[in-house]
Amino acid sequence: MKYTFKDDNGSQETIDLDSIEEAEEYAENWALSGSWGEQGCIVDVDIYDEDGDHLTCVSVEIEPDHESLIREATGGEGCGVSPDDHKWTREGCGGCNENPGVWSLGGTRMSYLSRCTECGLRREIIDPGNQRNPDETIKYSYWI
């Protein structure tokens, strides 16, 4: 059966697959192969059958390009461009003693501030929690 895939930006592709399960898997991989910018996003891929009837929508969360964000903040200097290259701590980042570097932003929205103990890079993660708006993702910021 032929399935047509359409994303939020108007891109579309039609391909012959054996089942809706294969179509859903293809939709996820198709979205992940796109170029979505360094902040990450949620991409909705609508799947249609041969008659143009809408079958389902697959939402795919695209991770931010952490390496690009860190490189932009550090100019390529410091411990490295991967978050895993850094030794993160929340000590000395404000907040209360029991939970340093953590703030509630209302509802289920939280902010997590940390710093690398070696190069001083700072990172803020804003997590909208489970009461997020449609298409709202976790946001990452890096700076020196």
30 & 13 share domain? yes
37 & 90 share domain? no
> What's the average model confidence in pLDDT over 121-125?
98
Average pLDDT, the chain: 95
Q: Where does the pLDDT of residue 8 fall: very low under 50, low under 70, confident under 90, or very high at 90 and above?
A: confident
Name the CA dihedral angle for 65, 69, 70, 72, rounded to a multiple of 10 degrees.
140
What residues make up the domain containing 37?
A: 2-62
Domain boundary (62, 86, 114) is at: 62
136 & 83 share domain? yes
76 & 129 share domain? yes
84 & 38 share domain? no
93 & 38 share domain? no
Q: Where does the pLDDT of residue 120 fall: very low under 50, low under 70, confident under 90, or very high at 90 and above?
A: very high
Structure tokens at 26: 């293809």
Domain boundary (14, 44, 62) is at: 62
> What's the average model confidence in pLDDT over 41-51?
96
**What percent of the chain shows pLDDT beyond 70?**
100
Q: What is the pLDDT of residue 135?
A: 81
Q: What is the pLDDT of residue 3?
A: 98
Domain boundary (18, 34, 62) is at: 62
Q: What is the pLDDT of residue 114?
A: 98
135 & 85 share domain? yes
Q: What is the DSSP string of 54-109?
A: EEEEEEEEEPP-HHHHHHHHHTT-SS-SSGGGS-EE-TTSSEETTEETEEE-STT-
